Chain A
């Protein structure tokens, strides 16, 4: 069998330590911290005061502007503070609401809707009210993505999960595939598309076999080569359809919408179960935490609580660790264990630092061949460090998806991604966000 894929990419050790661990429901935390910015776009506006009682699922943050999302209370309790906290994902202080849990869940549910009879707008409205964002990690508001500016004909479900360690999408596909399928049916209705594909890496053979059997005739299951970054949107589209998203464009430009497996589950939970996005599946893994596993956890749970109660603490005798939000390739290291989980957290990876000393680039070209976007990382790195941003943009700085394949493959440990990320930020700031 020929497995579909894209050009470039790398194959880091898979380390799917938790691929056979059933997803367990975590106990409710005593305290949650909910960021008002858990999505791409403008932060939500807090609408609760200190001392106010909130129910599980109650709206505590309202969207500001089109690209924004609702934020809900993940527990039933009392608001104890509304203040700015440093967010490692956004690299700045973001408003956050702290809630002390006072009792078990007392739900405030979303409005009921019959998905078979409801109109497209009604369904979209529920998705928006549920605060659903892309759960693969990018956290782009789903109600915006499901209302593309151009007509689309294809829906691609992302089950690639190419990051090492992470297994939550894999487990969701195995354990909750009926619900995911319902979510797909709803999404199909919203988008009005006919063909649906699901791309799964070949290291999840059990999921491929299961879904091929259960979803036959409904969703086309596409086995993909196990290669990083197979789950990146543009690479997934290239692998499955052979089409390329134009530079600076969106998948909808070529009639495609990509959604993550877990997002489909969240859509089903919003429309059928009337539950907003306050809980998600995530993988707790890595060599430096005692127990690895897959968990349903409430959004806003502090990472320290997750590591102590679900991972039963750090492995002893380790001085320095890296606690990553996400997998080891693109994960964001946290500077404080008080940082809470965000909607996009598909995993917490606790690993040790690998020794790395950056030396001179020897033009070995490994990065050029690893780059899935067909860029020249060594040149982008050089131009970025020399602050020649316009030249860097001319050779595709803004096309970089920051997947890290270049730095992973670099024998000289050059930090391409670091300098490229910085250059992108500076360039966007200099140009005032205009291209």
Chain B
């Protein structure tokens, strides 16, 4: 009989990093379905390219670093790959996405020490990288085709996102987008950001599973409501209504999956909890900076890569 003397506690939770990552992937499935419906079959291909290539790149890096013996595939790379895929336009060629994934995993994640050690969020850094490298592909938006597994016709017209319309033509023009359409996601934009209702569905799943603290996205969205309301009160013709701001851009995707510093919640969500009590204050503070920057007239927020919400 061998006596083991490993350290206390001697019982551990059945939870694991892999289970967390799988929950995040499940929470993103509705957004993938929305992307496939609004932007066609190619959106699904991009999502699959993102997930598969991310895992393969991670496996390769682990082999190069000779860490593959202790490496436990936990799905964190798949989350990064999928989030990056959901953050690009349907106009993006698959190989462009692939380059973004390689950059995100190899440089942003593993150069800094791998899972949990990255200074930046890999998916968002990958997005910035693509935006700088392929500006045209990354900022061309198509209007939805509203058909499962549909293909875009050859003479497709590009469209402006609601926030671009708001910025260039003012809120009166942006009122052409109905709130219902915005809520369901019938608008141009990144693959995964348009359908608010399905993102909320994923959020509900995460909340029920205890993977996300409801307070964090709530304060995030709450402060957007507050500050956009202040600006809306100042000049309703120029600035969008609070509800308009909640429903447009990548705000919902960012609030749920990218809480702070653009860190995707379940990749790096701990950075938001320095102290339990300060959590909300911290969040509010960051958001205030973000909003105030975003609302400045000279700031081209439509293409700002620093925030999840363009």
- A356 contact set on B, CB distance < 8 A: 6, 12
Given contacts A364-B20, A411-B16, A411-B17, contact A335 B3 (CB under 8 A): yes
Give how many A-B residue pairs fall within 8 Å (CB-CB): 141
Check: B268 CB closer than 8 A to any chain A CB: yes
Contact assessment for A364 and B270 in the assembled complex, using a CB-CB cutoff below 8 Å: yes
Check: B45 CB closer than 8 A to any chain A CB: no
Q: How far is the CA of A329 from the CA of B8 in the complex (A)?
A: 6
- B117 contact set on A, CB distance < 8 A: 360
Contact assessment for B12 and A362 in the assembled complex, using a CB-CB cutoff below 8 Å: no
Given contact pairs A321-B3, A411-B17, a sample of 16 additional A-B residue pairs in the complex whose CB atoms are under 8 Å apart: A88-B5, A322-B5, A322-B10, A331-B8, A333-B4, A333-B6, A356-B12, A362-B115, A362-B268, A363-B270, A363-B271, A368-B270, A374-B276, A411-B13, A412-B116, A415-B7
Out of B7, B11, B17, B267, name the residue touching A12 (CB < 8 Å).
B11
Check: B72 CB closer than 8 A to any chain A CB: yes
Contact assessment for B9 and A365 in the assembled complex, using a CB-CB cutoff below 8 Å: no
Q: How far is the CA of A221 from the CA of B76 in the complex (A)?
A: 48
Nearest B-chain residue to A339, judged by Cβ: B3
Contact assessment for A363 and B276 in the assembled complex, using a CB-CB cutoff below 8 Å: no
Contact assessment for B274 and A408 in the assembled complex, using a CB-CB cutoff below 8 Å: no
Contact assessment for A361 and B116 in the assembled complex, using a CB-CB cutoff below 8 Å: yes
CB contact list, A358-373 vs B, under 8 A: 359-366, 368-369
Given contacts A360-B116, A368-B270, contact A314 B1 (CB under 8 A): yes
Contact with A along B265-292 (1 / 0, CB 8 A): 0111111111110000000000000000
Contact assessment for B276 and A417 in the assembled complex, using a CB-CB cutoff below 8 Å: no
CB contact list, B217-271 vs A, under 8 A: 266-271
Q: How far is the CA of A356 from the CA of B16 in the complex (A)?
A: 10
- B114 contact set on A, CB distance < 8 A: 360
Out of B5, B8, B266, B273, name the residue touching A368 (CB < 8 Å).
B273
Contact assessment for B4 and A407 in the assembled complex, using a CB-CB cutoff below 8 Å: no
- A354 contact set on B, CB distance < 8 A: 10-12
- B7 contact set on A, CB distance < 8 A: 415, 417-418, 421
Q: Chain B's nearest CB lies how many Å from the CB of A226? A: 15
Given contacts A328-B11, A333-B10, A334-B3, contact A359 B270 (CB under 8 A): no
Contact assessment for B17 and A319 in the assembled complex, using a CB-CB cutoff below 8 Å: no
Taking residues whose C-beta sits less than 8 angstroms from the other chain, chain A's interface range is: 35 or more
- B116 contact set on A, CB distance < 8 A: 360-363, 412
CB contact list, B106-131 vs A, under 8 A: 113-117
Check: B19 CB closer than 8 A to any chain A CB: yes
B interface size (C-beta, 8 A): 39
Contact assessment for B3 and A328 in the assembled complex, using a CB-CB cutoff below 8 Å: no
Contact assessment for A411 and B19 in the assembled complex, using a CB-CB cutoff below 8 Å: yes
Q: How far is the CA of A329 from the CA of B19 in the complex (A)?
A: 23
Contact assessment for B8 and A330 in the assembled complex, using a CB-CB cutoff below 8 Å: yes
Contact assessment for A335 and B270 in the assembled complex, using a CB-CB cutoff below 8 Å: no
Q: How far is the CA of A360 from the CA of B116 in the complex (A)?
A: 6
Contact assessment for A164 and B11 in the assembled complex, using a CB-CB cutoff below 8 Å: yes
CB contact list, A337-356 vs B, under 8 A: 337, 349, 351, 353-354, 356
Given contacts A13-B11, A363-B269, A408-B12, contact A322 B4 (CB under 8 A): yes
Check: A376 CB closer than 8 A to any chain B CB: yes
Contact assessment for B1 and A410 in the assembled complex, using a CB-CB cutoff below 8 Å: no
Q: How far is the CA of A354 from the CA of B5 in the complex (A)?
A: 12
Q: Chain B's nearest CB lies how many Å from the CB of A334? A: 7
Q: How far is the CA of A12 from the CA of B11 in the complex (A)?
A: 8
Contact assessment for B12 and A413 in the assembled complex, using a CB-CB cutoff below 8 Å: yes
- B213 contact set on A, CB distance < 8 A: 365
- A314 contact set on B, CB distance < 8 A: 1
- B6 contact set on A, CB distance < 8 A: 322, 333, 353, 356
Contact assessment for A319 and B9 in the assembled complex, using a CB-CB cutoff below 8 Å: no
Contact assessment for A404 and B8 in the assembled complex, using a CB-CB cutoff below 8 Å: yes
